[in-house]
Structure formats: C-alpha cells, structure tokens
Amino acid sequence: MEEVEALRLADLEGQYQEEAARSMGVSRSTFSRILVSGRRKVADALLSGKAIRISKGLPRDERAESTCKTLKVCPVCDQPADLEEER
C-alpha cells in the first residue's frame, strides 16, 4: 500500500517528494525508492497487459472467512462482510 500512497501523493496530487515524504513519515530518499518501485510495477502492468491488484497486504492465510467476520469487511475485495449467514 505504500507504493499506492506514494503514487497518489506524487502523481495524482502533484506533491513534491519532500512534502510527500513528510506526509508518509519517511525520508525523501525512502519515498523516492517507494515511488520508483510503484511506477515500475504500474508501467510493467500497462505495457505487459497485466492486471493491477491492490491489497491491504494481509498474508494469504489471514484471508479466511473468520477475518471477514472479525473486521466486518473482506480484506480481499474490501466489501462489507455478509454477516446475515450467522443468524
């Protein structure tokens, strides 16, 4: 998610790297590395016809149904969990 946030701050909002780095609580050089990594992944996906999937970074074993019920939102699709089935 850091890469998505860096792309949003720099490319969508037009913030300078120093300002964006402060927003994220990282050094300017760290922000620059995150931004380059994000841009490289987006470019690769666009030019290679790959899908872009953005997740909250939860490990696969934590994406179980119980996680949805605990968070009341699915960590995979970010939709509200259907809790009606429990009743």
Instruction: Provide the CA 51 distance to its chain's centre, in angstroms.
Output: 14
Q: What pLDDT tens digit does each residue of the chain (87 aa) get? A: 899 999 999 999 999 999 999 999 999 999 999 999 999 999 999 999 998 888 765 455 444 455 555 566 665 666 676 655 444
Between CA 49 and CA 43 the distance in angstroms is 10
Between CA 12 and CA 42 the distance in angstroms is 14
Decide: pTM greater than 0.75: no
